[in-house]
Amino acid sequence: MSQGILFIISAPSGTGKSSLIEGLLKTKSLYNIQVSISHTTRVMRPGESHGKHYYFISKKEFRIMIKQQSFLEHAKVFNNYYGTSRQSIEKMLFSGIDVFLDIDWQGANQIRYKMPHSKSIFLLPPSKDELYKRLRERGQDSDTVISKRMEKAVDEMNHYSEYDYLIINDDFQKAINDLKTIIKAEHLCLFHQKNKHNVLISQLLKN
C-alpha cells in the first residue's frame, strides 16, 4: 500500500477554504481523502461534537501532550490552545489516506519542518472587495471586527509565496477541480510513484 500525502491548506478568513474542503470531500475522487481533526482547549459550541469538529480536551491534558511532543504543530489563540496530533496524522498517512490540514501560515511552517514531503496550497480571493463582501454576508461580525479581519487577511496573504500551489477562489467548481488536479499531480510525482511501484521498477530494470 502506498503512503498518503499530507496537504496543508491555508487562506485568510472569508476566502471559502472550509466550503472548498467540504465540497472536495463530497466529490468522487480516485483517492481516499480525510480532513485532520485538531485538538483544542476551547469550549464546545452548539452543534459541535467531540471527534467530529475537534477533540475537546482540558488545558492540563494539552500541556501534557506538548511535553510528550505529541503535536506536529500547536498554537495559543485567544487564551485557548489548538494543535495537530502527530500520531493521528501518521496513522492516516500510513494507511494510504491523503490528509488535508487546515492551518495558518505559522502552523504550516512547523509542519514543513517536521514533514518535508508535505505539500502546501494557498487560497486567495479574486479581489479585496469580494473578500469584504463575503465577510459581511456571513452576518457574524461588526464593521469593526470585519475591518480587523481585512487587516489580518492582508498580512496572511503576504505569505502566499511560501506555498507550493496557489488557487484563486473565484469560481467554486473550478477551485474544487484545481484541488483535485493538485492531488492527482502529487500522486504522479516521482517520489510517490517510485514508492508505490518499487517492485515493478526493480523488475523492469533487471538485466
Note whether 33 and 97 are within 8 A (CB): yes
Is 18 among the annotated ligand-binding positions?
Answer: yes
Is 46 among the annotated ligand-binding positions?
Answer: no
Distance from C-alpha of 81 to C-alpha of 39, rounded to nearest angstrom: 8
Q: DSSP letter at 104? A: -
Is 181 among the annotated ligand-binding positions?
Answer: no
First to last CA, the chain: 27
Task: Annotate 148-167 with b (16+ C-beta within 10 A) or e (fewer).
Answer: ebbeebeebbebeeebebeb
Q: Looking at 14-109, which runs of residues are DSSP E strands?
A: 33-35, 39-40, 55-56, 71-77, 80-85, 98-102
Is 12 among the annotated ligand-binding positions?
Answer: yes
Is 17 among the annotated ligand-binding positions?
Answer: yes
Phi/psi for 74 (5° steps) reads -155, 155
Residue located via cell numbers 495537530 = 84
Is 38 among the annotated ligand-binding positions?
Answer: no
Is 4 among the annotated ligand-binding positions?
Answer: no
Cell of 150: 481585512
Is 75 among the annotated ligand-binding positions?
Answer: no
Cell of 205: 530494470
Phi/psi for 49 (5° steps) reads -140, 150
Binding residues: 11-18
Query: Which residues are annotated binding-site positions for ATP?
Result: 11-18
